[in-house]
Structure formats: C-alpha cells, structure tokens
Amino acid sequence: MTRGWRQEASALRLALLILGGLGLAGTAAELTLERHWDGIEQLIPWPFLGAGVVSLGLLTGRPGRGTVQLARVLAAALFVGASIGVWRHVAANYDAGFLDFRYADRWPAMSGIDRWWHAATKTVGPAPVLAPAVLAQVGLALLFATIRHPALRKPVA
C-alpha cells in the first residue's frame, strides 16, 4: 500500500470512528431521555452501548493487533445485539397491536404481512424500531473501521 493510500484509508477510518462516536452519543442521550431502565429488558441496550464505547476507545489512537481484534469482536457483538434489539422492538409492537383501539377490532382479520408492517413502522405499539438500528449501524461502522487496519498487517520478515 502506498503512502497516499494509507493516508486516505486513515482518513476514512477516522470518519467511521467519528460516525460511530456520534451514534453512540446520540443513542446514549436517547436512552437516557426515554428513561430506558425500567426492568431487565430495558437494561439490555446499556451493556451493548458500553461495548461500543470500549470498541471505539480501543480503536482510537494507535492500537495493537490484539486490541484491534478485541475491538472487532465487541463491534460484532454490538451489531448482533442491536439487530436483535430491532427484532425485539418490532415483535413488541406486533404483540401490542390489538391493544390499539384503532385496530382492536380488525387486528385478528389483518394478514400477517399487514400486521408486521404496522409493527415495523410503529403504526401500532410503543417501541421505536429505528433506535436499536442506530446501534447496529454503529457496530457496522466500528467493524468496517477495522478492515485492513495497519495493526493487523503481518510484520515484514
């Protein structure tokens, strides 16, 4: 890799880390404003948020090979956990569909696709679907920031 390519890769990596940091800060603010700590289920995103923060911290500066690999694992865990969060939120909305008085009567008669669509678009239910999706995107950003990371290059013999 030439010096120019390295500089460009470094700039892109930094941009991904900045995006990841903004996403983490925004999600932390959102969770705090929503008081997202009622019960065990609502506490679940916090450790994943912490994993993202640690991953971001590990990738900042001049990490070693092991550090980057650990950051990669944490970022992958964040992506998977947040993706499950998206699913859980959609499912929660789906389960609450019949409680919405606008749909209570016709919910049972609606097709599965229609019900899932209403749940995924938060037409019914209380859970914001895109909130965990932001965390999933942060996980991907951090994961992508480790692609061809200089610390992972094999030392020249």
Partner 1 sequence: MNARLMLAGAAIGVALLAAACSNGDDENTPTAAATTAAPAVTQTAAASTATGAAPATTATTSAATSTATLAATAASTGQKVSANNATIAELTAAFEAAGISSASRWAREVDEYRPYAESDTNLNKLRQELAKYNPGPGVVDAIVATLQLP
137/58 Cα distance (integer angstroms): 18
Which stretch in 10-18, 43-51, 52-60, 144-152 sits in contact with partner 1 by CB under 8 A?
144-152
Asked whether position 126 contacts partner 1 by CB under 8 A, the answer is: yes
Give the C-alpha distances (Å, rounded to integers) separating 61 from 10, 36, 69. Answer: 11, 32, 15
Residue pair 49/135 in contact (Cβ under 8 Å)? The answer is yes
State which of positions 69-88 bind partner 1 (CB under 8 A). 79-80, 83, 86-87
Per-residue interface string for the shown chain with partner 1, residues 24-53, x marking contact by CB under 8 A: --------------xx--------------
Q: At a CB cut-off of 8 Å and minimum separation 6, what does 18 contact?
A: none
- Which tokens in the block code for residue 35? 């008081």
Residues at the interface with partner 1 (CB under 8 A): 38-39, 79-80, 83, 86-87, 90-91, 94-96, 98-102, 104-105, 107-108, 112-113, 115-116, 120, 124-126, 140, 143-144, 146-148, 152
